[in-house]
Amino acid sequence: MMDSPQAVAAFAALGQEHRLRIVRALVTAGPGGLAAGALAGEVGVSGTNLSFHVKELSRAGLIQSRRDGRSILYSAAYPALSGLIEFLMRDCCQGRPEVCAPAVVALASCCPPTGDIAHA
The CATH number that applies at residue 12 is 1.10.10.10
Contact, 73 vs 60, CB < 8 A?
no
| Domain count across the chain | 1
- What pLDDT score was predicted for residue 13? 97
Number of other CB atoms surrounding residue 79 within 10 Å? 13
Q: Which residues of the chain have pLDDT under 50?
A: 117-120
- What pLDDT score was predicted for residue 107? 73
- What pLDDT score was predicted for residue 32? 96
- What pLDDT score was predicted for residue 118? 47
SS3 content of the chain, % helix, strand, coil (to 5): 60, 10, 30
In a domain, 39, yes or no: yes
pTM, to two decimals: 0.83
In a domain, 21, yes or no: yes
In a domain, 35, yes or no: yes
In a domain, 116, yes or no: no
Residue 93: give the domain boundaries.
1-110
**Which regions of 15-89 does DSSP assign to beta strands (E)?**
34-35, 63-68, 71-76
In a domain, 118, yes or no: no
